[in-house]
Chain A
Amino acid sequence: MHKTKKSTWVVIAVMIAVALAAPVAVGPKNNYMLNILISYCYFGILAASLNLLIGYTGQMSLGHAAFMAIGGYAYAILNKTMGLHFLIAIVGAVVISFICGLFIGLACSKLSTIFLAMTTSGFAKAVTLIIINEKWLTGGANGFTGIPKLTVFGHKMGNFELYYVALAITLLVFLFCYRLIYSKTGRAMQAVRNAPIAAAAMGINVNGYKFLVCGISAALAGLAGCIYAVNMNYLSADMFNKTSITLLTMTVCGGMGSLFGPVVGTLVIGTLPELLRTFSGYLDGVYGVMIILVMLFMPEGIYGGIKNLAGKVMTRKNAASQPGKEAQDGK
């Protein structure tokens, strides 16, 4: 049975405390900073959902931002065009993303890594084209404007309140991922990534699990899209194209196949644009270089790299007292 170490719980508690205090610290009127904080939330969800797919199940999906777009647009259409309550719109958007995810699941169950990568990136391009061309539904190239803010009991939520809503959703998503990973399903996912034929021989319905994880992962990305839509009040196909590279960099650099990876990735890569504001023209190149460097020197991502390093230091410390005892992996 999985046991999380006490020190890990302390880290998590500190992170949640910081997340709770952050908006107060930056000031409830500081919309610029609040937007960044909210962006950590939806990027965190996105990275975690992509991590389920690539990191845990080994399915190279490159079109993940498309699900965010599907979720965002579905929310906008349900909420604004059709005038549904935002809760219904969110549920609707998540369900629609889930169903679209199943289509990619179909591809996962048939295709090997490289062809899947092609298919998913092609899928993302197709979604972009549909958004641009179906003007009546999506607003076309001008984007979808005027998505209303959340209103609860007649009170219009500002960014300050929205942040806490987004944070709560993010924490729930991470709790969900945590429970999923340390369960029968999570083990099956990792088995599929490690050795698909052996997984099947152990009674795991390999295609079934790929299917399921694609659906779940797409649904979570759709949820992130909803937060994004509410936060921005505006959607365009262009924004999601940019998200693709950011998302990939976050997932890869943070570290795949661990729950802390997406958190680290989101915080590091999500902050990068702010640090490099004067060099914003170089951002994509920096992302590219980072992806390559991480793949070269830290294939397990920044989090994995730090963990390995810490593990090595610990082993060296313990070597004298406990010969032969390998550093714990944290699992």
Chain B
Amino acid sequence: MFVQALIGGISQGAIYALIALGYSVIYSTLKMGHFAQGDFYMLGAFIGLSLSTQLGLPAVIVFTGAGLLTSLVMLGLERVAYRPMYNRPMNALLIATLGMQYVVQQIAKIIWGSDVKRFPSMFDNQAIHVPFMGDSIAITPQNLWVIGICAALMMALVLFMKKTKTGIAMSAVSMNRKAASLMGVKITTIITATYTIAACLAAVAGVLMGPVYSVSFSMGGSMGTKAMTAAVMGGFGSIPGAMLGGVLLGIAETLCSLYISTAYKDVFTFIILLIVLFWKPQGILGQAKITKV
């Protein structure tokens, strides 16, 4: 039972990690949250659903398509709604991202309606039974795909941050925005890039989870909160932190619903958030800040 739950937890956690990475890249460049992040996860799921069922495209194209299209939507919305606010007090942008939540949900409602939609699985559903210490553990291909794709994307992101010019510029901005700007890095472009990456990751997560939970316009909210908790747990703004936080949260949550209560799973997440924020606000892998006067 325990190991079974663990695998489920890791697979769930990988999704949290994927979305949490979005928060991390945005926070590291902009020192800002993005409350609509969960809704791009939802948008990705819907786009994936359309590509998969209506156009009958193969899985690879569904994933790339959903990622790219969602990024495009983000790109447009960022241009119109966020960009003019980067040089203003951050609260305005934070509130705007709250408004964005409802805008994205409305877009989804208009296109796909407000009913819950079933997302047929794109992978083989036959579980693989693995004997383990006298037990038999069922691993679905879904689980494996989720873990595999998430791991691959995280690797890709790390490589992107380390090897590409844009990625290095992103790290520079996150360390010192002013200095980076003086060195000729176009801050606005970098911020746009972080939003786009965040949306793309969330969209892929959406397509991965669509078949598990079904798809509806309101599915983003709680996912967003959980991914945020994961990001905080690992250390807000840290990329390895987001991955670690995601997986840990996934496991913690699965174990909670196994041993404590399913109904209060989300409350449990909230309590974890509180514990982390009050006890170790910099997260597991984050760095403590010194107030400068």
Contacts and interface: CB of A to CB of B under 8 A. Distances in A.
A and B touch in the complex (CB under 8 A): yes
Interface of A: 58, 60, 62, 107, 110-111, 113-115, 117-119, 121-123, 125-126, 129-130, 132-133, 197, 245, 248-249, 252, 281-282, 284-292, 295-296, 299
Contacts of B107: 285
Interface in B201-254: 222, 225, 228-229, 232, 236
B281 A111 contact: yes
A119 B274 contact: yes
Contacts of A248: 95, 98
26 contacts: A107-B274, A107-B277, A111-B281, A113-B91, A113-B94, A114-B33, A115-B232, A117-B33, A119-B277, A121-B35, A122-B274, A123-B270, A125-B270, A129-B266, A130-B267, A132-B263, A133-B263, A285-B106, A288-B101, A288-B103, A288-B106, A292-B81, A292-B100, A295-B92, A295-B96, A296-B84
| Interface of chain B, main secondary structure | helix
B274 to A, nearest CB: 7
Interface residues of B, number: 47
Given A252-B95, A288-B102, A289-B99, 7 more contacts: A122-B269, A249-B99, A284-B102, A288-B103, A288-B105, A295-B93, A296-B85
Contacts of A125: 222, 225, 266, 270
Nearest to A299: B92
Nearest to B267: A126
A285 B277 contact: no
B27 to A, nearest CB: 8
Contacts of A285: 102-103, 105-107, 109-110
A134 to B, nearest CB: 10
B114 interface: yes
Given A60-B94, A113-B91, A296-B96, A245 B281 contact: no
Contacts of A129: 263-264, 266-267
Contacts of B84: 296
Given A129-B263, A292-B100, A284 B106 contact: yes
Given A126-B267, A281-B109, A288-B103, A296 B94 contact: no
A288 B99 contact: yes
Which 7 pairs show the lowest CB-CB distances between chains A and B? Answer: A285-B106, A291-B99, A288-B102, A288-B103, A122-B270, A114-B33, A292-B99
A122 B268 CA distance: 11
Contacts of A292: 81, 96, 99-100, 103
Contacts of B222: 125
Given A121-B225, A197-B291, A295 B99 contact: yes
B293 interface: yes
Interface string B261-280: 00110110110011001100
Interface string B72-102: 0000000001001100111111111011111
Interface of B: 27, 32-33, 35, 81, 84-85, 88-96, 98-103, 105-107, 109-110, 114, 222, 225, 228-229, 232, 236, 263-264, 266-267, 269-270, 273-274, 277-278, 281, 291, 293
B264 to A, nearest CB: 7
Contacts of B35: 117, 121
Contacts of A122: 225, 229, 269-270, 273-274
A110 B109 contact: no
Nearest to A297: B84
A133 B264 CA distance: 8
Contacts of A299: 88-89, 92
A245 B98 CA distance: 9
B259 to A, nearest CB: 17
A113 B35 CA distance: 13
A249 B103 CA distance: 13
Contacts of A117: 33, 35, 94
B266 A295 contact: no
A290 B222 CA distance: 23
B225 A245 contact: no
A60 B32 CA distance: 13
Given A118-B33, A133-B263, A285-B106, A110 B281 contact: yes
A258 to B, nearest CB: 16
A287 B90 contact: no
A257 to B, nearest CB: 11
A119 B273 contact: yes
A61 B235 CA distance: 22
Nearest to B272: A122
A280 to B, nearest CB: 12
Contacts of A133: 263-264
Nearest to B222: A125
Contacts of B236: 115
B234 to A, nearest CB: 14
A179 to B, nearest CB: 26
Nearest to A251: B95
B177 to A, nearest CB: 16
A62 B222 CA distance: 14
Contacts of B270: 122-123, 125-126
Contacts of A119: 273-274, 277
Nearest to B33: A114
A11 B99 CA distance: 31
A111 B278 CA distance: 8
Residue from the set B107, B229, B277, B281 with the largest chain A CB neighbour count within 10 Å: B277
A115 B278 CA distance: 11
Contacts of A286: 106
A284 to B, nearest CB: 5
